[in-house]
Amino acid sequence: MSQKIIAVDGPAASGKGTLARRLAAHFDYAYLDTGALYRAVALTVLTKGQDPANTKAAVDAAQNLDMAQLDEPDFARNLRTAETGLAASIVAAEPDVRAAILTAQRHFGETPPGGKQGAILDGRDIGTVVCPDADAKLFITAQAQVRAERRWKELVVQDTSLTLANVLADIEARDARDAGRATAPMKQAADAHLLDTSDLSIEEAFAAALALVSD
């Protein structure tokens, strides 16, 4: 494989998305937020008034996913809501949903769009399942309280009634679900570099991540 692949994994609000985008810009690589694919599946299910725990509804949405929707302003905005995030972790636990998304993710890594010479994918299972042979792997984490505060500051702009306690409970529930699912659980790959961003600024975290993938 001539293209380089960098896998960035970690729990919600750890900073992995921000770091992955910064790394992609630095190296001029294609970037894919794989979590957005599961959020898109979840949002599709919710928009149809269906239950994200309904396996058939989730699988149908995954198999018919239109990635072009990710660039539509209204759709993209609704991807980031707390409700969509919670539903995404539910549909992502379905093996058939993950199977439907897996091929598209691997194709992105092996054949980056735009003629790019590399790809950076972030998610929960990139280094362990999607791209186990990635050239470099990072597992980004942070304390649950720190991650909850980060996510709350993002979400409270849209919903002023949202409390930090509720966001923390959602974060902890998602962590348990993501790490405990039978198919492709969230975990650090044996050969991934661990980076805890709890006490780091964005610039400090980026410098650390860049050093780890460049060594």
Sheet (strand 30-33) strand order: 30-33, 118-123, 4-9, 136-141, 193-196
Give the pLDDT confidence of 102-133 residue by residue, as tens digits: 988 998 999 998 899 999 999 999 999 999 99
Tokens of 134: 């990635």
118, 30 Cβ separation under 8 angstroms: yes
CATH of 4-214, one of 3.40.30.10, 3.20.20.140, 3.40.50.300, 2.160.20.60: 3.40.50.300
Instruction: Write down the pTM of the prediction.
Output: 0.84
pLDDT of residue 140: 98
- How confident is residue 2, by pLDDT bands cut at 50, 70 and 90? low
- How confident is residue 1, by pLDDT bands cut at 50, 70 and 90? very low
Comparing CA positions, the residue from 176, 189, 85 lying closest to residue 137 is 189
